[in-house]
Amino acid sequence: MDGWDVRGTACIILRGEIVDVERPIKLAGVSNCFRSEVGSAGRDVRGLYRVHQFAKVEMVIICKSDPAISEQLLQEITSHSEQLLQILELPYRVMAVCAGDMSQKTYKQYDIETWMPSRGDYGETHSASDLHSFQARRSNIRYRDEQGKLQYCYTLNNTAVASPRILIPLLENHQREDGSIYVPPALRKYLGGRAELIPQG
């Protein structure tokens, strides 16, 4: 992920700006998120899968208004999420979201679903979207084209990882019959070098 600048929410930082997008602007930030579950029911509103407050690492790209460029960048940010799941040694699938399931702002979207044994199914853990100029128009983020004319940028975003939902497949897929949990090598340096978690008592 070379070339990513870790900052806050891009469209707040750059609201009303005329930016240089000769090279796409790549930003990443950590944020606390909140969702309302008023009126919701069912298994998805219990446990770690759908909580009221969660944290996530979000990737945002601001680029020229060129569909070919934004498509290439959408593939790039989707691949970053795939690489994360691969180093965590988790089974997943990439789903192209149909138009009827996308929000008004979205031009194209991929959801990545990770296998969750307790559900007996895949559950969404990542989402990457190409918004074309929708978000930039609302935030008034523009650039000057080769003729010096102002154009609205294209923007893309990707949930690189969200917690605590990622803990579901991480713990369930790596739990052994004796209750211990295998720790993938990519995480061991954050856990004092532990290769497994052993239940106490």
**List 58, 81, 113, 127, catalytic entry:** 127
Give me the residues paired with residue 58 across strands. 29, 159
**List 7, 15, 35, 144, catalytic entry:** 35
Q: Does 127 participate in catalysis according to the annotation?
A: yes
Q: Does 93 participate in catalysis according to the annotation?
A: no
In contact, 160 and 140? CB cutoff 8 Å:
no
**List 17, 50, 71, 163, catalytic entry:** 50
**List 89, 124, 137, 172, catalytic entry:** 124
CA distances from 33 to 61, 162, 163, 169 (A): 20, 10, 10, 21
Residue type, 121: D
Q: Does 118 participate in catalysis according to the annotation?
A: no
Q: Does 177 participate in catalysis according to the annotation?
A: no
Nearest one of 43, 200, 186, 60 to 121, comparing CA atoms: 43
Strands (E), 149-195: 150-152, 154-163, 181-182
- Identify the H or E element spanning 167: helix 167-174
Q: Does 180 participate in catalysis according to the annotation?
A: no
Nearest one of 160, 158, 101 to 129, comparing CA atoms: 158
**List 113, 129, 142, 165, catalytic entry:** 165
- Which active-site residues does the annotation give? 35, 50, 124, 127, 165
